[in-house]
């Protein structure tokens, strides 16, 4: 089976070079590949074009859906790998959507690449199979809190989250809209004994003004609890746009 990708324009797969905007590798130049489809539906998702297709009734704050044919494209593993290599980067970020929904095809594609530091961005609900795990250097795990609007038992499977805490390649990024969200992070951190140094808190927002306003109080809370603060560098540089 080929990979199913998001698009930057109808028929054009979202494979691009940019700076990593979030988390542990923020500021590093990377190649990116954005896969389509997600098993969750965050109401504030800024890549809803990867899953909120016509006929999908799951709520989203934009209250719009997109045409699947214009926003989704299939690509063979060899072609995808070739496009990534043409970007000339040494670090690859696989994002989505939820990339681990396509783990077998993704593993085949990564097996065609040589010398890359591979990061996978995941919502943490799916365990990676061994064939894929052996090709990955870093997992950016972003468990979804109550304000995401997802059913709790779907977004936070505590057995799966516990397994991620024992994965040395994983760090944890939580999207924060209000100070109350940090209280939820503290509960999860204590329940699963996650070292604060592995936790990144990121303000939710799709424009610089919102991010800066939330960053003021969030940075202070990170300092209080020993968590890492992460901004959304790509939003400040390029705005809320595809392929950045």
- Other CB atoms within 10 A of residue 175 CB: 22
Question: CB–CB of 191/160 below 8 Å?
Answer: no
pLDDT (average), residues 211-215:
98
Pairing type for strands 15-19 and 29-34 reads antiparallel
Q: What is the pLDDT of residues 102-111, one digit of tens each?
A: 999 999 999 9
The reported pTM is 0.97
- Is 3-238 a CATH 3.20.20.70 domain? yes
Q: What is the pLDDT of residues 22-56, one digit of tens each?
A: 999 999 999 999 999 999 999 999 999 999 999 99
Distance (Å, rounded) from C-alpha 58 to C-alpha 41? 7
Degrees to nearest 5, angle at CA 171 with 168 and 175:
160
Q: What is the pLDDT of residues 164-198, one digit of tens each?
A: 999 999 999 999 999 999 999 999 999 999 999 99
Q: How many residues does the chain have?
A: 244
Distance (Å, rounded) from C-alpha 197 to C-alpha 128? 23
Can you state the angle between helices 179-192 and 158-165, rounded to 10 degrees? 70
Q: According to DSSP H, which parts of the chain are helical?
A: 68-71, 77-86, 103-110, 130-133, 152-155, 158-165, 179-192, 208-225, 233-238
Question: CB–CB of 32/93 below 8 Å?
Answer: yes
């Amino acid at each position: 089976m080929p990979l199913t990708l998001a698009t930057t324009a109808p028929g054009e797969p979202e494979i691009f070079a940019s700076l990593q905007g979030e988390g542990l590798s923020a500021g590093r130049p990377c190649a990116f590949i954005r896969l389509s489809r997600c098993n969750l539906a965050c109401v504030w998702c800024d890549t809803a074009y990867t899953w909120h297709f016509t006929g999908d009734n799951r709520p989203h704050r934009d209250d719009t859906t997109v045409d699947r044919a214009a926003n989704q494209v299939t690509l063979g593993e060899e072609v995808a790998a070739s496009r990534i290599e043409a970007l000339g980067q040494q670090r690859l970020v696989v994002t989505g959507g939820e990339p681990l929904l396509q783990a077998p095809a993704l593993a085949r594609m990564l097996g065609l690449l040589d010398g890359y530091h591979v990061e996978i961005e995941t919502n943490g609900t799916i365990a990676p199979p061994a064939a894929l795990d052996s090709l990955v250097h870093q997992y950016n795990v972003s468990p979804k809190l109550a304000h995401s609007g997802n059913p709790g038992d779907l977004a936070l499977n505590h057995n799966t989250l516990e397994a991620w805490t024992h994965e040395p390649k994983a760090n944890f990024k939580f999207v924060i809209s209000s100070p109350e969200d940090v209280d939820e992070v503290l509960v999860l951190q204590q329940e699963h004994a996650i070292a604060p140094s592995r936790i990144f808190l990121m303000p939710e927002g799709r424009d610089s003004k919102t991010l800066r306003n939330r960053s003021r109080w969030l940075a202070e809370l990170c300092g209080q609890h020993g968590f890492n603060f992460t901004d959304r560098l790509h939003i400040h540089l390029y705005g809320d746009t595809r392929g950045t």
